[in-house]
Amino acid sequence: MFPVAGLGTRFLPATKSIPKEMLPIVDKPLIQYAVEEALEAGIETLIFVTNPRKRAIQEYFARDEALQSHLLAQGQHELHARIHDIIPAHVSTAYVIQSQALGLGHAVWCAKSLVGNEPFAVLLADDLIRAPATGCLKQMVDEYHATGVGSIGVEEVPASMTDRYGIVSVERADDGRDYIREIVEKPSAEKAPSRLGVVGRYILPGEIFALLETVRAGVGGEIQLTDAIAAQLTSQRLLAHAFDGVRYDCGSRQGFIRATVDYALEHADLRADLLAHLATLKR
């Protein structure tokens, strides 16, 4: 599930008409990186929770037969390959409208009837994760298959930034894994139970939907996914997954620009030119 209904105000004015998930890192929109990570993890149903003003995402993932034929007719096979298989034929997509911006927990709840009572994954596309070999969600799915326990992606955040994240405290079990003891949404540094911040990757049990119906508005007056997860912990264990990889907070301009530079350096046709350009820059 991809909650993509947020307003992306930190990228105004660009996000006046473009959803923030459609902003490109080099040549692919953020949402496509998240979709590719989900596909790599073996996910075959993609649910986008969107808002009525964000048609661009649905349009992006729709097949464009006319453009494909045009590129083929022009002999542009490389370009054709780039758009042909964005979503493979065996994968289905669904769009759910969140008509009011009531928070991440509410966005997830909106997809309740599509998910049913099965475990499911949530990916927040503005947390872009560049993993060395295996993508972050696949790491978590593999762990789920090994343990039968859901998980949340975490990484250490600076003490001054605990109030921007869900923060978890963990307990190391005999199996060597870290189980979540407590989870709090955006605590101050003084109140934070640790410095382990939640990044936008979750594997959650279907029971979370019932809990989302009982939680009240929390931080920011929003229905928080974190609060439902906290309630879930009283009956079901969840792992904290300290993923292998680098996360870019592409919801912030700094993170977005860092990601752009690092991803561009991975493109063989851009690398030398970018390095030469960076070398000319003065502080």
Instruction: Judge whether 64 and 83 are in contact, CB under 8 Å.
Output: yes
Kindly state whether residue 11 participates in binding ligand G1P, applying the rule CB under 6 A. Answer: no
Show the tokens assigned to 118: 């099965």
170-209 mask for ligand G1P (x: CB under 6 A)? ---------------x-----------xxxx---------
The CB-of-270 to ligand G1P minimum distance in angstroms stands at 28
Which residue's CB comes closest to ligand G1P? Answer: 166
Spatial distance between the Cα atoms of 32 and 2, rounded to a whole number of angstroms:
11
Count the site residues for ligand G1P by CB under 6 A: 14
Which residue spans within the chain are E strands per DSSP? 2-3, 24-25, 28-29, 45-50, 92-97, 120-123, 127-130, 150-156, 166-172, 178-185, 196-204, 238-242, 246-249
Identify residues 38-77 at the interface with ligand G1P (CB under 6 A): none
Dihedral over alpha carbons 252, 255, 260, 264 (to 10 degrees) = -170
Among 47, 104, 111, 125, binds ligand G1P (CB under 6 A): 104
Candidate residues 32, 50, 139, 226; the one interacting with ligand G1P per rule CB under 6 A? 226
Instruction: Compute the least distance from the CB of residue 249 to ligand G1P, in Å.
Output: 7
Residue 155 engages ligand G1P in binding (rule: CB under 6 A)? no
Nearest CA-CA partner of 142 in 265, 40, 3: 40
Residues that bind ligand G1P (CB under 6 A): 104, 124, 127, 165-166, 185, 197-200, 224-226, 251
